[in-house]
Amino acid sequence: EAHHAQTKLLQEYASGVEIKIEIIMVHAQDHLMTTMTLLEVAKEMLALYKKVN
């Protein structure tokens, strides 16, 4: 859900809609990107673990 909200904001910005960004939005973006990255790393680690065992 957070990723969809982020995508919507970026699409609106790209189409010329002025978007007021608060510091909390930057903080939320940081958390979202960190979480998405960690999820991908965890998936890769799980796949490697399954290959080894």
DSSP string, 5-50: HHHHHHHHHHTT---PPPHHHHHHHHHHHHHHHHHHHHHHHHHHHH
Catalytic, 3? Answer: no
Q: Is pLDDT larger for residue 4 or for residue 38? A: 38
User: What are the extents of the domains in the chain?
Assistant: 20-53
Query: What per-residue confidence (pLDDT) applies to 36?
Result: 93
Q: Position 18: which residue type?
A: E
Mean pLDDT on 11-23: 89
Q: Is the pTM of this model over 0.95?
A: no
Which member of 3, 4, 27, 31 is catalytic? 27
Higher per-residue pLDDT: 7 or 35: 35
